[in-house]
Amino acid sequence: MPMTLGNAFIKNFLGKAPDWYKVAIIAFLIINPIVFFFVNPFIAGWLLVAEFIFTLAMALKCYPLQPGGLLAIQAIMIGMTSPDQVYHEIQMNLPVLLLLVFMVAGIYFMKELLLFIFTKILLGVRSKVLLSVAFCFAAAFLSAFLDALTVIAVIISVAVGFYAIYHKVVSGKGSNAQHDHTQDDQLNELTRENLEDYRAFLRSLLMHAGVGTALGGVTTMVGEPQNLVIASQAGWDFGEFIMRMLPVTLPVFFCGILTCVMVEKLKVFGYGSQLPDNVRQILVDFDNEQRKKRTKQDIAKLWIQGAIAVWLILGLALHVAEVGLIGLSVIILATAFTGVIEEHSMGKAFEEALPFTALLAVFFSIVAVIIDQELFAPIIDTVLHIEDSGTQLALFYVANGLLSMVSDNVFVGTVYINEVKTALVEGVINRDQFDLLAVAINTGTNLPSVATPNGQAAFLFLLTSALAPLIRLSYGRMVIMALPYTIVLAIVGFIGIIFFLEPLTAHFYDVGWITHHSGAMSDAVMSHGH
């Protein structure tokens, strides 16, 4: 029986997504206006947030851009927010978008160097525990000076390279890792068990690295975007920011590394898988083959990429320009000095990041709804009016943590620091309390947010990358694998806020390691906006 035009429209809607998923999205689009106009706009706002999180959770069924974008467009059309507010949010987050467009593409042109270095590490370290700690520590160290998205882009590039090497041997299809899943049926040398073990091995390394970006990103003012906002509002420089966070971040870091060791040793929550011997041999053979085939031009490329890597780290650490612009310089330098001059040769570098860039723009539309509908206002007002200092710190940390699990931590941090700054200017709190609350806000948005991919931009980028379906890394699996880290980081951070922050901050005042701002409020604190 020939397909009718109506059935064709239904078939085309969201393509190959399951029918139940299509029905769910249509139901959301029908329910939202009814709740907004006839029930309560506040409830409709939280319903929209929950629906958007659902689209993120089902990322392997359907890329979130399309269903999430439909929800965002409808929200604007019915008046939950305005195009101007969405554009304002995108303007405020333009550095993050530039980072995705240019920095991730820049990393693509350094993949030979990255694959060379990480292959040596992978083959040189036989212990899975030491290898996991190495990935976690390296990600933490780099994230203290680079943005977490940059670091996770590096790790993804390396993992894609490893997976490509594997399939080059077992499928005879070359080194393109972005293949159809049916290629798994073409395995002719390794067993299905080898494949599953290899996927589990890569998943665990990626999750350790992802958590590492949070451990390092919380420590410095350039580690995460919201850190920079908080530091500028508080008037802290690079060194003072580190010292103020130290009572919380230092114990969290060591406990995070200890958690990495324990989950690998105990082989729980999806960790503990070893690199199969057959796969290791493939990587060893590949490394030997590459070494024999490496020409003088190839060696020259590695040296050039190494020099560009030094420039990248120095440029980001010294913040000589916006991160995205430094990424653009990496693209120009790497392509110019390695002979990549054709337009079509450069296009692939942008394929990975641009869908996520579009998704992030949609995400900012949801953030605009959160602002216009004042979804966080009741929580903020309640916490600010608690008089006990310790209780207020604890609640700020918990409130920031919970909200960052379901929303963008950059947004949550920005909203909270602006509210606290307003309270300071109006005399509701004093400067010392403001400084302590700023620490609670920063650590609250960075640590418990590892619980979900939508809480950490680096996790969301990993979830929506081309690598995730290859290694079977779903939203639910990420939440489960992040759970031990979530518990440890959140609890240790809470203990640091309650027991260590105030006494150690007072000690740092006494020895002159941080500045006492109680006399006068800085221009940064007095000024409004961000």
pTM flag (> 0.95):
no
pLDDT band at 181 (very low <50, low <70, confident <90, very high): very low
For residue 374, the SS3 value is coil
pLDDT tens across 100-158, in order? Answer: 788 778 878 887 887 788 778 888 888 999 999 999 998 898 788 766 777 787 788 78
Total of domains in the chain: 1
Q: What percent of the chain has pLDDT over 90?
A: 30
Burial classification of residue 4, based on how many CB atoms lie within 10 Å of its CB (0-12 exposed, 13-18 middle, 19 or more buried): exposed
- Write the CA distances from 164 to 172, 285, 365, integer angstroms: 11, 14, 36
Task: Judge whether 24 lies within some domain.
Answer: yes
At 510, the pLDDT band (50, 70, 90 cuts) reads: confident
Least confident of 217-221, 360-364, 452-456, 465-469: 452-456
Residue 73 lies in a domain: yes
**C-alpha distances out from residue 308 to 98, 115, 304, 313, 316, Å:** 19, 15, 6, 9, 12
The reply to whether 67 falls in a domain is: yes
DSSP string covering 351-404, please?
Answer: HTHHHHHHHHHHHHHHHHHHHHTTTTHHHHHHHHT---HHHHHHHHHHHHHHHH
What would the pLDDT profile of 450-504 be if each residue is shown by its tens digit?
998 877 778 887 887 888 888 888 888 999 999 999 999 999 999 999 998 888 8
Alpha carbons 516 and 505: distance in angstroms, whole number: 10
Q: What is the pLDDT of residues 289-308, one digit of tens each?
A: 878 888 888 889 889 989 99
Rounded Cα distance between 408 and 371, Å, is: 12
Domain membership of residue 71 as a residue range: 13-78
Q: How confident is the model at residue 191 (pLDDT cuts 50, 70, 90)?
A: low
Whether residue 450 contacts residue 211, with contact meaning beta carbons closer than 8 Å, is answered with: yes
Looking at residue 245, its pLDDT comes to 94
In a domain, 70, yes or no: yes
The residue-averaged pLDDT of 340-354 equals 82
Q: Evaluate whether residue 20 is within a structural domain.
A: yes
Does a structural domain hold residue 49? yes
> In whole numbers, what is the pLDDT of the chain averaged over residues?
83
Residue 321 has pLDDT above 70, yes or no: yes
- Asked if pLDDT for residue 201 goes beyond 80, the answer is yes
Whole-number Å distance between alpha carbons of 146 and 126: 28
> Is 45 a domain residue?
yes
Question: Is the model's pLDDT at 261 over the cut of 90?
Answer: yes
For residue 41, being part of any structural domain is answered with: yes
